[in-house]
Amino acid sequence: MTESADILVLNTGSSSVKFAVFDAHLQERLSGVAEGIGGIGQLCIGKESEALELPDHGQALSAVLKRLTDAGCGPDNLCAVAHRVVHGGIELTTPTRITPDVRAKIESCVPLAPLHNPHALAAIDALDQLAPDLAQYASFDTAFHATAPEVASRYALPPEAEALGLRRYGFHGLSYAALCRRLPEISARALPQRLLAFHLGNGASICAIKDGQSVATTMGYSPLEGLTMGTRVGTLDPNATLRLVEEIGLAETKTLLNNRSGLAGLSGGLSDMRALEEAGTAAAQFAIDHFCYWAIRHGHSLIGAMGGCNAIAFTGGIGENARSIRARILDGFAWLGCTIDADLNAENTACLTRPQSTPMAWIVPAEEERQIAMDARALIEACP
């Protein structure tokens, strides 16, 4: 790979395409987002923004490539495009170059991720038309959890249900992979043998990482399971879901559990942690209490899956910035010997605990886009 061979990373959603360009040294050159796809949207690169007609993902990507070309980062300056793909199922468990066979496997996972994989496929197909000579790669959010033992991944369902793909896949894998790479650099220590990792944002999960591999995580068949989240309910008794379907119907139940529950459902509509902390209402405070309680409770479950805990790490928007939330969660692990340093926590320093604390606790900035670029570069260098 030459010095000027950049990698374009794409994270494609239902109405947006987030993008970042990384150089040969994995330094971000620029980033932005095309949003409002499906109508009059806008394309933002850095601090610049312009309104554009963005009827579909193809038009959005065409506009992105044109602006990147103007900035000297267009297809002629790229060696690859690397995509975040949410679901790889049980077959796509490592980063890979996208071939017709790989594309077909991504499409076969659409029933497992109907809100995510179709948009990644739309971007892949659009780029095949817009830049047919440009190699495309994919990294999968589920892949990091493929190392979890079968006893952690299987639901207690008979084989005919398992055959439908009903198993725990886990998500936020790219975030956890980046965390495992970055924590030794930040701490100047080897990666802890038993690491309890919190990815806390609008979507939230915890991962038990033993010897650098996922052995258990809170999200399951879908990103709906596990912690209390911004708008997602988290773990819910299946019979409660069935009751909702009986009362309000399937479509309304999906909307309720995914978009109107979690922090928003408990607080009366507030899903942002900063807004909740500022609200000062009893409902907002209860939502915060709920979030912290279940983070602590699920975290202890994962410590059991690892057989201990040598360190705790936080990443994601809440994990990196919400001081009081981190403090409350870490207080739940004080019995282990985890002693938070209030001054360090208040300053958002990398290390959050006193030197004698065991386990120690850390902040690790999220680097999912760089992780995707790194995955693609490794594949390119392995097959020059």
Residues 68, 200 within the same domain? no
Whether residue 183 lies inside any domain: the answer is no
pLDDT range class, residue 384, cuts 50, 70, 90: low
Residues 24, 110 within the same domain? yes
Whether residue 175 lies inside any domain: the answer is no
Q: Which of 370, 6, 20, 345 is nearest to 185 (CA)?
A: 370
> Of 106, 123, 140, which one is at a domain's C-terminal end?
140
Residues 112, 214 within the same domain? no
Cβ–Cβ < 8 Å for 136, 97:
yes
Cα 250 to Cα 50, 198, 243, 269: the distances in Å are 39, 31, 10, 22
Residues 205, 329 within the same domain? yes
Residues 260, 324 within the same domain? yes
Higher-pLDDT residue of 1 and 323 is 323
pLDDT digits (tens, 9 = 90+) for 279-310: 999 999 999 999 999 999 999 999 999 999 99
Whether residue 158 lies inside any domain: the answer is no
Q: Which of 70, 141, 211, 237 is catalytic?
A: 141
Q: Which residue has the tokens 């956890």?
A: 176
> Of 102, 119, 140, which one is at a domain's C-terminal end?
140
> What DSSP character marks residue 38?
T
pLDDT range class, residue 4, cuts 50, 70, 90: low
pTM as predicted: 0.94
- Please classify residue 119 by burial: count the beta carbons closer than 10 Å to its beta carbon, then call 0-12 exposed, 13-18 middle and 19+ buried: buried
List, in order, residues 6 or more apart from 313 with CB less than 8 Å away. Answer: 179, 183, 195, 196, 197, 198, 361, 362, 363, 364
CATH number of the domain residue 302 falls in: 3.30.420.40
Whether residue 110 lies inside any domain: the answer is yes
Residues 66, 200 within the same domain? no
pLDDT digits (tens, 9 = 90+) for 334-362: 999 999 999 999 999 999 998 888 999 99
Query: What CA–CA distance (Å, rounded) separates 183 from 331?
Result: 22
Domain membership of residue 327 as a residue range: 189-368
Pairing of strands 360-363, 311-315: parallel
Residues 197, 97 within the same domain? no
Residues 331, 210 within the same domain? yes
DSSP code per residue over 300-333: HHHHHHHTS-SEEEEEHHHHHH-HHHHHHHHHTT
Residues 344, 214 within the same domain? yes
Could you give phi then psi for residue 170, rounded to 5 degrees?
Answer: 80, 155
Residues 99, 203 within the same domain? no
Average pLDDT rounded to a whole number, residues 224-246: 97
Whether residue 377 lies inside any domain: the answer is no
141 tagged catalytic: yes
Residues 127, 274 within the same domain? no
Whether residue 290 lies inside any domain: the answer is yes
Q: Which residue has the tokens 């980046």?
A: 178
Residues 203, 286 within the same domain? yes
Total structural domains within the chain = 2
> Of 76, 105, 140, which one is at a domain's C-terminal end?
140
pLDDT digits (tens, 9 = 90+) for 57-100: 999 999 999 999 999 999 999 999 999 999 999 999 999 999 99
Whether residue 255 lies inside any domain: the answer is yes
Whether residue 105 lies inside any domain: the answer is yes
pLDDT digits (tens, 9 = 90+) for 134-158: 999 999 999 999 999 999 999 999 9
Q: Apex CA 176: angle with CA 134 and CA 291, to 5°?
A: 125
Percent over 90 (pLDDT), the chain: 93
